[in-house]
């Protein structure tokens, strides 16, 4: 189970990865951890990750969970 979470908006989608603009800035998120959901640009999502952030541009994380957020 993920211990760290952030929410953000999908800006771009590249196959199974998305560029998300969130509370941590722009982060690459693996959408493939949730094959039950279809994600689109503009969706608000909640992302669970292991706490480590790779200092790249954009930042990368080990995605543990992704879910849509109703707002």
pTM of the model: 0.91
Handedness of CA 40, 42, 46, 49 (dihedral sign): positive
Tens digit of pLDDT for each residue in 2-42?
A: 689 999 999 999 999 999 999 889 999 999 999 999 999 99
Tens digit of pLDDT for each residue in 47-66?
A: 999 999 998 999 999 999 99
pLDDT of residue 56: 93
pLDDT of residue 71: 64
Are 31 and 66 spatial neighbours (Cβ–Cβ below 8 Å)? yes
pLDDT of residue 2: 64
């Amino acid at each position: 189970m993920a211990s760290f979470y952030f929410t953000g908006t999908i800006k771009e989608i590249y196959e199974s990865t998305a560029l998300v603009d969130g509370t941590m800035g722009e982060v690459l998120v693996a959408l493939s951890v949730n094959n039950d959901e279809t994600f689109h640009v503009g969706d608000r999502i909640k992302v669970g990750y292991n706490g480590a952030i790779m200092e790249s541009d954009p930042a990368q994380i080990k995605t543990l969970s992704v879910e849509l957020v109703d707002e």
